[in-house]
Amino acid sequence: MAKSKSDKKADASKQRVVVRNRKASHNYDLIDELDCGIVLLGSEVKSIRNGKITIDEAYGRLQNGELWLINSDIAEYPQASFMNHERKRERKLLVRKAQLRKFAETADHQGLTMVPLSVYFERGIVKVKLAVGRGRKKHDKRDKLKTKDDAREMRAAKQVRLA
């Protein structure tokens, strides 16, 4: 049975998230986000499909007018034998120049950090969601957790009153 155009578009818009950096929203005030392509070797793509990637300690850096993902760990693919990749090599991120200028200038001028939020597949292509964020101090993290707990308690109290 052939798929209609609307079904194909719905399939194309689906994203399969491989890994999320859950600490990023806790450790940083996220200001802006950008979706990037990434230059990978075949064995790296196979490892990512198997979920063997970590981005907890990774960050983005601008070098010679190009955006690079540094310190991300992609496990070696066991079936690749001698054609395997280096685990923690720097990987180039693919972005349009206008987006790069806007995004990187924000990060450079204000002393912000570029943090990967997630790695996902979109139409069979590996993408990285990168965000610019300002690091939080310990007391800022506590304040955010406190306000979050207060909001949760208020919602629970409201639901009890309504019931």
Q: What is the pLDDT of residues 7-41, one digit of tens each?
A: 555 555 678 898 998 888 888 888 888 899 999 88
Average pLDDT, stretch 60-84?
A: 84
pLDDT of residue 7: 57
Measure the CA–CA gap between 87 and 76, rounded to whole angstroms: 6
Tell me how crowded residue 146 is: count the other CB atoms within 10 A of its CB. 10
Residue 161 falls inside a structural domain = no
pLDDT at 4 over 70: no
Q: What is the pLDDT of residues 100-159, one digit of tens each?
A: 888 877 777 677 888 999 999 999 889 999 998 888 777 767 777 888 888 888 888 878
The pair of three-digit structure tokens given for residue 98, joined into one six-digit string: 């206008």
Residue 60: give the domain boundaries: 16-136
Note whether residue 162 is domain-resident: no
Give the containing element (helix H, strand E) for 46. helix 42-49
Q: What is the pTM (predicted TM-score) of this model?
A: 0.73
For 28, the 3-state DSSP assignment is strand
Q: What is the pLDDT of residue 96?
A: 92
Residue 114 domain flag: yes
Is the residue at 38 inside a domain?
yes
Three-state SS at 83: helix
pLDDT of residue 13: 62
Q: When comparing pLDDT for 2 and 52, which is higher?
A: 52
Domain total for the chain? 1
pLDDT of 3 over the 70 cut? no
In a domain, 11, yes or no: no
| Angstrom distance (rounded) from CA 52 to CA 40 | 14
CATH number of the domain to which 62 belongs: 2.40.280.10
Burial degree of 10 (CB within 10 A; 0-12, 13-18, 19+): exposed
Does residue 152 lie in a domain region?
no
